[in-house]
Structure formats: C-alpha cells, structure tokens
Amino acid sequence: MLIGSDLVRGSIARWKKTKTDATVLASRLGEGDRSRHVSGRQRQTRLVALLDQAPDPIVARTLLERIIEGNDLLGVNYLAIGARRARSVCRIHLRNGAGRTIGFGTGFLVGPGVVMTNHHVISGAEDARYALAEFDYEYDADGVDQTVVAFPILITPPPIANQALDFCLVAVAPTSLDGKRSIEEFGWLPLNAAPGKAIVGEYLTIIQHPGGERKQVCVRENKLLKYDESGSTLWYKTDTVGGSSGSPVFNETWQVVAIHHSGVPATDAQGRWLTIDGKVWDSSMDETRVKWIANEGIRISSIVQFLAANHASDTLAHSVVLPDRPPPDPRARHDERTANAGASSEVVGDELRLTIPVRVSVRLDAGRTNGANGNGARSVVQTNGAAPAVARPTPPLLLPPADGLEKIVVDQSNYDKRPGYDPNFLGKGKLSIPLPMVARAALKKKVLTFGPKRTSELKYWNYSVVMHRERRLAIVSAINVDGSLRKGTRDKDGDRWYSDTRIEGFQLEGDFYGQQREFEADRSKNPFDRGHLSARSDAQWGATTREAKRNGDDSYHWSNCAPQHHLFNQGKKLWQGLEEYVIDNFAADSDRRASVFNGPVFDAPLGTIGEDGRPIPSIDGKLHKDPTFGDVAIPKLFFKVVACVRRKKLATAAFLMSQEDLLATIDRLQGLPPLPQEKLTQAEAKVFQVSLAHVAKLTGLDFGPLAEADTIGDELLTARARPIERLQHVAL
C-alpha cells in the first residue's frame, strides 16, 4: 500500500531535513540514562499515567525513575497491561462492493464504537463503505487461532479524515456481523492530549497486523529517535511492514504516543530504495525486502489538537476528545462454550421440554422506512446462537455533540453607569466593608489610576477591580454575591473576553494567552488559561435572567483575568466552591449574601516543602520574585477572602491557592527553583485556609473591619497554612 507512494517520499524528505543518520543517532542515544532528554512536563505527564496504573505513589515514582534511567526491569503486570491494550487493536479489512479483499491495514478503538486508522488506509466514506474491523485475529497462549470477530465499519456518522495528519476516525457497528458480540467487549485506548509522552531514547511498542497477518507485537529494537518539534511527526526504530499502517505506537507506560503511518527506506545517491542486502529495490520485489532505516508516526497530541480545534461538536471527535466515561475493562474474553449458558432440558412424562433463552432486540433505524415498522424501528426475535434477522447492524448511538461556548455580550458604551462593588452590601455601620486599600508603600506606587479624576477603582456590574500598573493584573477584584438571585447558565464558559477601554495598554490581554481553545491539547507553547478572579458564577445574579446574564458577562474583562496553569483552571471547583459553601452554610443571617475578594499574591515567598513533596504557602518567608514566562511574571499564589454576616456580626474566612508545583513542570518558565524530584507526586493546585492577617501580610492590602471579624484566624496565626481537601474542612 505504501510502496511508490507520495507518503513515503514525504517521510524521506522530512527525515532528510533532520540531517541525521538513524544508525548513528540510535548508537549515540545508547542505553541507560535518559534524564538529559526528559523535560519537566514529560516527567509530570508520565507520573500521572503511572499513578493510574500503580496508585501507590512510591511505586509510581520508582517506575518513573526506572523509565528515565533506562532500566529494563519492569513489573510483570507490564505484560498483562499490554495484552489488555492489544484487545482494542484490529485488522482493517478493505473490500469492494462485491466483497473481494482489496487491502489491509491496522486500526484501534479510541472511543466507544470509534476506530482510528490512517487516512491512506481509509480516506472517506467510499473506502469505509464495505470495510470491516476484525478483532481477535491472533493466536491464543496455546498457539490456537482465536475466532475472528468482524464488525462493519459505518459511514454514518461520516468519517473524519485528514490527509496532512494521515488519520481517519470511523464509527463501528455496535454488534458483530454474526450478532453475538458487542464492540464494547474490546474496550478502547484513551488518547492523552499531552505532547511529548515518550522520552527520546525510550523503547516504543507497536501492536500491529503486518501485511494483514495475525496480530503481532514488536517490543524491542524500537527506540524513539527524534521528535519533529515544529511539526506533528516522530521517528523511531521499529520493525513494521505494509499493513502496519494505522497501528498504535505505545510508550513504556502503555500510552498511545503516535499512530504509525510510514517508513523511511535507505536510499543510494540517486535516491533509489535499497534492499536489506544492499541492492536496488524495485516494485517486482516484496516490500519486506526494503531496508527501512526509520519509521515515522503522527503524534497523537497533534491529532487530538486538530480534532478539538476543528471537530469539537462532531460526535466522533467528541467521544474521543471528551469521553464521558473510562473504557470498560476488556480483560474478559468471549467464550463460545458459554454462549448457550442458560439453556436446559428435562423429561416430563413422554415430553422433552427445552428451555432456550430468547433475546428480543429493537433496533432504531432513524430516517429509514424499510424496516418491519413504518416508523423506522425494526424488531428482531433471536434465540442464542441464531444469526440476526438484520443483515447489517445500524449505527451505534454515540454521544451528543458538545455544547458550544455561550456568546458573551458586553456593552462598552456605559462604563459610567456601572455601580461597582457596594461596601454596604451586607449592611451599614459595623457591617459595612470598604473596598480593600493598598497599605504597603511600595505597592501604592504601582496602583493604576485613570480618567480625569485619577481614580483607581474600575467599576463593573456587581464588582470592582484595582489594577497593578506594571504587572497589568488586578491587585484585588471585589464582588458582591447574592445567592438568592443567581440565575441562568452561570457555570458555562464564554466565547470572548473584552478589553476595558478605560485602561488600554494596562491589562494583560489575549496576545499573551493566545488562541487557547477550550479543548486545545498541546499546551507547551502557552500552558496558561484565562482564569477569572471574580467568578462569573458570583457575578451572574440580578432581578431578571436578562440582568443576571448582563452582570455575569461583565466578568469577562481582561482586568478580571489572571494567568492560571490550565490544570489549575480546569480543576478549580474546590476554589470556586468556597464562597458557595460559605453562603450555603454560614450566610443565613445575611439572606445568602456574601462579599468576596480575589486576587494574585505578587512575589510570594517560595513555599516550604511538605511531606508529600509539594509546596505549602509560606507566610513569613523572604519575598521571591514571581517566575516569568516570556516577559510576563506569573503569580505563584492567589488569595480569596469571603465575608458574610453571622449572628449579626461580620464573619470571614481567608484562603490561599498555590500553583507553584504546577509552574515547576513548565520548562520555559524562568526563575523558579525545581522541586525535589525524589518526592515528586502528581502536581495539582492546592487550597489552604489561613488567617486574614496572613493574606494582608502577603498582599499588602488593608481589609479594614474584616481584620476583627476573622475569629478562626487566631487559631491559624501561629500555625502553617491548613490544607483544605474538602469543603467541609472550611472553618468560619
């Protein structure tokens, strides 16, 4: 299938651009220590994968170091995991309309009822129309042929194919041709969007159907040679032949890192391909005679990124990029000997009575009227072992499309009408909470002022912001929250952020965050999300749904945004749930109202390292300049202060959230010392409760009357920051 194609010529051209010799490169990489090639991001990604396989952090860290050191000793479960992964790999059997075989390839399940293979194997509906996905075409442990299980490949929903990335996604029928087997028996291989899932020098594994033969595996002599850092390919030394196209390429943690698609043959000075014995290869020879010097795969991270950016609402892509559930455990194999389990017989008088299980299936065939029922549904009555009455199964029910982003609309003509933060929101007199003031002398000089009156308070609907002139980030974002008037889809993501025209040039905007789509996969170029300070869910309340949406939309200003590591931003439910928990449990006396203050902690001290190897915010440490990404300083800590009325008095709770350990995984970040690798665990943003005095000291802010309202803070003043693992740990 590959011989003479533009595909191989393209692979040769890309390999030549690397200006390397595969044999020399493989020799130079050698065996053993790979640490000089592994990045902080790769280390973290691999650890997360190992923690899934070995929940014991000590075992996971030991395995990680063995991989990095090139230690070939692996747990015996490595083989068991590989056998489980192999269940999801199938032979792609290409046929014409007459049922004749026209070629083979390899594919693998990547979602419920979704197979991935190469574009040059299946390029669209015409190639898929008569094709089959055949599983268990292999020998068992006794060398006996397994029973092949064939599933029709469907053309509805339409295949998703891309020639540049040489991949195709197709739907597979939920039931095998003989009606006995379910596609879910074979599980699927989740696709991890993180780039760089394999380390240069690491051995890769390909599970494949070479030349359309039984399933085979190459577990050695398959070293990862090189990444195309500016493109979507990688190269490795692995034994493959034609028919291996579309095979999954695994790292030593059994993650899919690439889809195999082509080889790089040795050539002479005239560019002619050479055979393994040094002769010039021609098309009369079998392609197994070609001397392949390297193989080329398409990086999975590039494919997932493409799907997320271009097909996020497509059912096929959605079930791959955002699966709603983990794959089922495919360990249990179908046993033909138990296919008739449940059948029984007995003799009663002169009668032989047989009890045979009967299965009744109702298949939905939307849009068609040629079934037994005029409404498009057809029913099948089938006994165990009998062939189904329907020749070709109907398409599987796949996940519905992902919801689109909600349109955000901000009227920028009436900033002077916005009331901003209300100090008397919880009450007047002793219940009044003024907007926090900047108390630290050095910070006062950095406060941004604007307009004819040189004010520092940017007023919005339900909240206000005070900006840092040089950092172009908020010093504090203060918001009033009325839990009884919340309305609309306040937890839905928006499609646009707005620049505040009053302070143009003094807010960190989209040119820094880049085109970070909701589903973007490769975050190495910019791992930072646009993180709300005052949350949309807090702002979106009002007398009517329309008013509430206006107020929620107003939170989408760059002035109310700060760079947060994407894992921080995507896993911040605990952080955003703090005010919700306080309102639900402590704010009854204030009619479910609260005032909330959010912001970054600029140049926070480095955290002290806890027993789990992760930083704990330090209150009394020496200030340490925030690390930089490009020319932007990134906050290590964020603060939140929640205030309400309890027993007719102000009550408050203060929190810090650290993203310091997440920042430590970013290679391009400058100015942050590495964490001790021997204690490395899964990085995550952590929440801590502290005293309000701690927050005031770190931020240089004066919170006025709240200082006396922090009754729980007295217990925390002499203690380290207290981790909050669950909202029930919050004290007020």
Q: What is the domain partition of the chain in residue ranges?
A: 6-321, 345-383, 415-729
pLDDT of residue 380: 36
What is the CB neighbour count within 10 angstroms for residue 109? Answer: 26
Euclidean distance between CA atoms 92 and 243, whole angstroms: 9
What is the CB neighbour count within 10 angstroms for residue 77? Answer: 11
What single-letter DSSP state applies at residue 380? E
pLDDT of residue 324: 58
CATH of domain 6-321: 2.40.10.120
Distances from the Cα of 93 to the Cα of 117, 125, 261, angstroms: 12, 15, 17
- Tokens of residue 506, six digits: 């003094």
Euclidean distance between CA atoms 200 and 36, whole angstroms: 9
Euclidean distance between CA atoms 327 and 170, whole angstroms: 18
Label residue 727 exposed, middle or buried (CB < 10 Å: 0-12, 13-18, 19+): middle
* Residue 464: its H or E element: strand 463-467
pLDDT of residue 278: 82
pTM for this predicted structure: 0.56
pLDDT of residue 662: 85
At 175 the three-state DSSP class reads: strand
Euclidean distance between CA atoms 695 and 475, whole angstroms: 12
Residue ranges of the chain whose pLDDT lies below 50: 1-4, 240, 242-243, 336-350, 352-404, 516-521, 678-681
pLDDT of residue 189: 93
* Residue 42: its H or E element: helix 40-53
What single-letter DSSP state applies at residue 436? P
Euclidean distance between CA atoms 473 and 90, whole angstroms: 52
Alpha carbon 719 to its chain centroid, in Å, reads 36
Euclidean distance between CA atoms 468 and 630, whole angstroms: 19
pLDDT of residue 59: 79
Euclidean distance between CA atoms 406 and 168, whole angstroms: 30
Longest dimension (CA), the chain: 107
Neighbouring-strand partners of residue 639: 599, 656
Q: Under CATH, domain 415-729 is a member of which superfamily? A: Extracellular Endonuclease, subunit A (3.40.570.10)
Which conformational region is residue 584 in: left (phi greater than 0), alpha (psi within -120 to 50 degrees), or beta?
Answer: alpha
At 656 the three-state DSSP class reads: strand
**Torsion angle (degrees, nearest 10) of CA 125, 127, 133, 139:** -170
The DSSP secondary structure of 683-708, one letter per residue, reads ---EEEEE-HHHHHHHHTEE-TTHHH
* Tens digits of residue pLDDT in 223-244: 888 887 667 888 887 554 544 7
What is the CB neighbour count within 10 angstroms for residue 418? Answer: 16
pLDDT of residue 552: 95
